[in-house]
C-alpha cells in the first residue's frame, strides 16, 4: 500500500490571529510587470482562511493573482480576495503576486503567516490588539489616512474631531474641507462582541493640515451609483451651490480614482466581486478641497464579462489504459469538466485528473471547461491536447460497482483525520488483483482488499475514485466519485 497522502491543493492556508503585512513597494517606473499588491491580510472563516489584498492603479493592469506558499502556487484568482482550505490546527506562510495579461508576475508581497484556531475561548474576549493608522498625505484642506485591518475583521468607524464619517470595511479614507494649519483628532472604533455595548477605540492619530486659504466650496451632494460592470462603477452627483467647481475629484477610500469637470464619472481598473467606498469632493481654481460628499458603497458584478479559459493543459503521463492530465485556471472555479472531442468524460473539483479504462492505442482529443464560482456559468474551453494511449493488452478489469465513505473520524488532535473508503467489486468479469484509489491525478492508496483508510488533514475536503487493476497493470474505468469533508475535533 502506498504511504498516506495529503493533497497539496487542500493544504492552502491557515490562520486565526493573522498578521497584517506592509507589502513591498510597487514596481518601479522601469518595470514591465504589474505593481505589487498591497495590504495583504488573512482572517479565519470557520476552519479555513480568507485572504484579501489591494492592487495599486499603477503599472500594467493585473488580470489575475497567485497565492504562493514558499515556491508553490496555492491558489489562483481573478479578484483581490480568496477563500482557502487548510488542515485544522496548522500554520502556513503566504505571499501574493499580481499577473498581467501577458503572464508577467509582479514582485511578491511581504509574507503573511497564520495559524488555524487552537483555543477554546472567544478571540473577541482577548485583549484588543488594535490597528496601525498613518497619515499618507496632508494638504491645507485635506488629509489621507490608511490603516491595517483589524486581525478579527469587521468594519471600523472613522471619527475626525469626534465627528463620525461612518462605518467602513475599507482600509483608507480621504477627509476634505478641513481648516488649514489646524490639528485634527482622528480615531477608529470597533465593536467588540464579547461585551455588551463594547465600542472600543482601536487606533488614533493627530494630523495637522498645512497653512493655506480658508475659503472652501460646499460639498457635492446626492452621490449615487449610476451603473456597474465586473470592472467599472459609474457615479453621478449634484453640483454644490455657488460658483461652479474647477473640477471634481473622486476617491475610493483614500485612492484618487477619477478627476472630472462634470458631475459624472466612470471608475475603471476595478476587479470583479470587490466592494468600494466612493466619495467626491469639489476643487476650486487654487486646488482647495471641499468636504467630501457622504460616501456611497458599491460592489462590482460578481461574474466576469470575459472569463479566462483553462490554460497549459498537459498530458503528464499515460499508460495503455490511462491518461493523466493537468491544467491551470487563473480564476476561481467550482469544478472542471473534461471533454474528449465533444463528449464530457469526467467532472472534478481539481485542476488535474486521471482518465482510466481507456483502450490501448486509442486516440483522444481533450479539452477542459471550468464551471465558474458564484454560479457565473462556464469558461471558454481550453485549447485541445491530443494523445494516443500506448499499445498494450486489450483486456480491462471491470470497474468497481460502488464507492462509499464508511468511516470519517478525527485523528491525532488537532490537524489529522482518518477517512475510510469502501467499495464493492463488479459482479461480472475476472476478479482484479488489486485496487487503486485516486484523488485528482494522484494515487493516494493501493490495496488488494475492498476498503482503505487514508490519513488526511482535519476539516479538509477530498474527492476520490477507485479503479480495479489486473495482473498486467491495466486499470478499469473508475467507480462513481465520492466527496468527503474530513472530521475535526474542536478544542474544548
In 3D space, the residue among 294, 298, 296, 244 whose CA is nearest the CA of residue 271 turns out to be 298
Give the strands of the sheet with 275-283, arranged side by side: 255-260, 247-252, 275-283, 296-299
Q: What is Dmax (Cα atoms) for the chain?
A: 93
Q: Residue 438 has which C-alpha cell?
A: 485516486
Question: Can you give the pLDDT at residue 119?
Answer: 58
For 267-294, what is each residue's pLDDT tens digit? Answer: 999 999 999 999 999 999 999 999 999 9
Mean residue pLDDT of the chain comes to 90
d(CA 234, CA 347): 39
Give the pLDDT of residue 54.
Answer: 96
| pTM higher than 0.95 | no
**124-208 is classed in which CATH architecture?**
Sandwich (2.60)
Q: Is the CATH number 1.10.8.60 carried by domain 8-120?
A: no
pLDDT in tens, 189-227: 998 878 666 789 999 999 999 999 888 899 999 999 999
> What residues contact 461, with CB distance under 8 A and at least 6 apart?
10, 85, 349, 483, 484, 485, 486
Cell of residue 152, nine digits: 478579527
pLDDT in tens, 434-490: 999 999 999 999 999 999 999 999 999 999 999 999 999 999 999 999 999 999 887
Q: Fold for domain 221-299?
A: Immunoglobulin-like (2.60.40)
Q: What is the pLDDT of residue 44?
A: 74
Predicted confidence at residue 415, as pLDDT, reads: 85
User: Which of helix, strand or coil describes residue 358?
Assistant: coil
Annotated domain spans of the chain:
8-120, 124-208, 221-299, 311-388, 402-485
Architecture of domain 402-485: Sandwich (2.60)
List of the chain residues with pLDDT < 50: 1-30
Amino acid 122: pLDDT? 72
What is residue 139's predicted lDDT score, i.e. its pLDDT? Answer: 96
Domains 221-299 and 311-388 share a fold: yes
CB-based contact 413:492 (threshold 8 Å): no
Residue 419, CA atoms < 13 Å, CB-side half-sphere: 28
CA distance 353 to 5: 16
* Cα 176 to Cα 170: distance, rounded to the nearest angstrom: 17
- Nine cell digits for residue 153: 475583521
- In this structure, whether the domain defined by 311-388 belongs to CATH 2.60.40.10 is answered with yes
The confidence score (pLDDT) of residue 13 equals: 24
Amino acid at each position: 500500500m502506498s504511504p498516506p497522502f495529503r493533497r497539496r491543493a487542500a493544504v492552502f492556508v491557515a490562520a486565526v490571529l493573522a498578521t497584517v503585512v506592509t507589502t513591498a513597494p510597487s514596481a518601479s517606473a522601469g518595470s514591465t510587470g504589474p505593481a505589487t499588491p498591497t495590504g495583504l491580510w488573512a482572517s479565519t472563516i470557520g476552519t479555513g482562511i480568507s485572504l484579501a489584498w489591494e492592487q495599486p492603479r499603477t503599472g500594467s493592469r493585473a488580470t489575475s493573482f497567485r497565492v504562493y506558499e514558499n515556491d508553490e502556487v496555492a491558489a489562483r484568482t481573478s479578484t483581490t480576495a480568496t477563500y482557502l482550505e487548510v488542515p485544522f490546527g496548522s500554520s502556513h506562510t503566504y505571499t501574493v503576486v499580481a499577473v498581467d495579461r501577458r503572464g508577467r508576475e509582479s514582485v511578491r508581497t511581504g509574507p503573511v503567516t497564520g495559524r488555524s484556531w487552537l483555543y477554546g475561548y472567544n478571540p473577541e474576549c482577548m485583549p484588543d490588539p488594535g490597528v496601525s493608522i498613518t497619515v499618507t498625505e496632508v494638504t491645507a484642506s485635506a488629509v489621507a489616512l490608511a490603516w491595517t485591518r483589524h486581525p478579527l475583521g469587521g468594519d471600523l468607524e472613522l471619527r475626525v474631531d469626534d465627528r463620525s464619517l461612518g462605518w467602513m470595511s475599507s482600509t483608507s479614507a480621504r477627509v476634505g474641507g478641513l481648516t488649514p494649519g489646524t490639528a485634527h483628532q482622528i480615531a477608529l472604533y470597533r465593536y467588540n462582541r464579547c461585551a455588551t455595548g463594547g465600542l472600543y477605540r482601536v487606533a488614533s492619530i493627530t494630523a495637522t493640515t498645512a497653512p493655506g486659504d480658508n475659503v472652501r466650496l460646499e460639498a457635492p451632494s446626492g452621490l449615487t451609483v449610476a451603473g456597474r460592470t465586473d470592472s467599472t462603477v459609474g457615479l453621478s452627483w449634484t453640483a454644490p451651490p455657488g460658483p461652479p467647481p474647477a473640477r471634481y475629484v473622486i476617491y475610493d477610500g483614500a485612492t484618487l480614482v477619477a478627476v472630472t469637470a462634470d458631475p459624472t464619472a466612470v471608475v475603471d481598473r476595478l476587479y470583479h466581486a470587490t466592494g468600494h467606498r466612493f466619495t467626491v469632493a469639489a476643487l476650486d481654481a487654487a486646488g482647495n478641497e471641499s468636504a467630501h460628499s457622504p460616501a456611497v458603497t458599491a460592489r462590482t458584478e460578481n461574474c466576469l464579462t470575459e472569463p479566462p479559459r483553462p490554460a497549459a493543459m498537459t498530458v503528464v503521463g499515460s499508460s495503455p489504459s490511462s491518461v493523466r492530465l493537468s491544467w491551470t485556471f487563473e480564476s476561481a472555479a467550482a469544478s472542471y469538466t473534461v471533454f474528449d472531442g465533444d463528449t464530457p468524460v469526467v467532472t472534478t473539483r481539481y485542476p488535474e485528473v486521471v482518465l482510466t479504462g481507456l483502450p490501448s492505442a486509442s486516440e483522444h482529443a481533450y479539452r477542459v471547461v471550468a464551471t465558474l464560482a458564484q454560479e457565473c456559468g462556464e469558461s471558454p474551453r481550453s485549447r485541445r491536447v491530443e494523445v494516443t494511449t500506448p499499445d498494450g493488452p486489450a483486456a480491462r478489469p471491470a470497474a468497481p460497482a460502488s464507492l462509499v465513505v464508511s468511516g470519517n473520524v478525527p485523528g491525532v488532535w488537532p490537524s489529522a483525520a482518518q477517512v475510510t473508503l469502501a467499495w464493492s467489486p463488479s459482479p461480472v468479469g475476472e476478479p482484479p488483483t488489486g485496487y487503486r484509489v485516486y484523488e485528482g491525478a494522484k494515487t493516494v492508496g493501493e490495496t488488494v482488499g475492498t476498503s482503505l483508510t487514508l490519513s488526511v488533514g482535519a476539516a479538509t475536503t477530498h474527492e476520490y475514485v477507485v479503479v480495479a487493476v489486473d495482473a498486467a497493470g491495466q486499470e478499469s474505468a473508475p467507480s462513481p466519485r465520492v466527496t468527503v469533508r474530513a472530521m475535526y475535533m474542536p478544542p474544548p
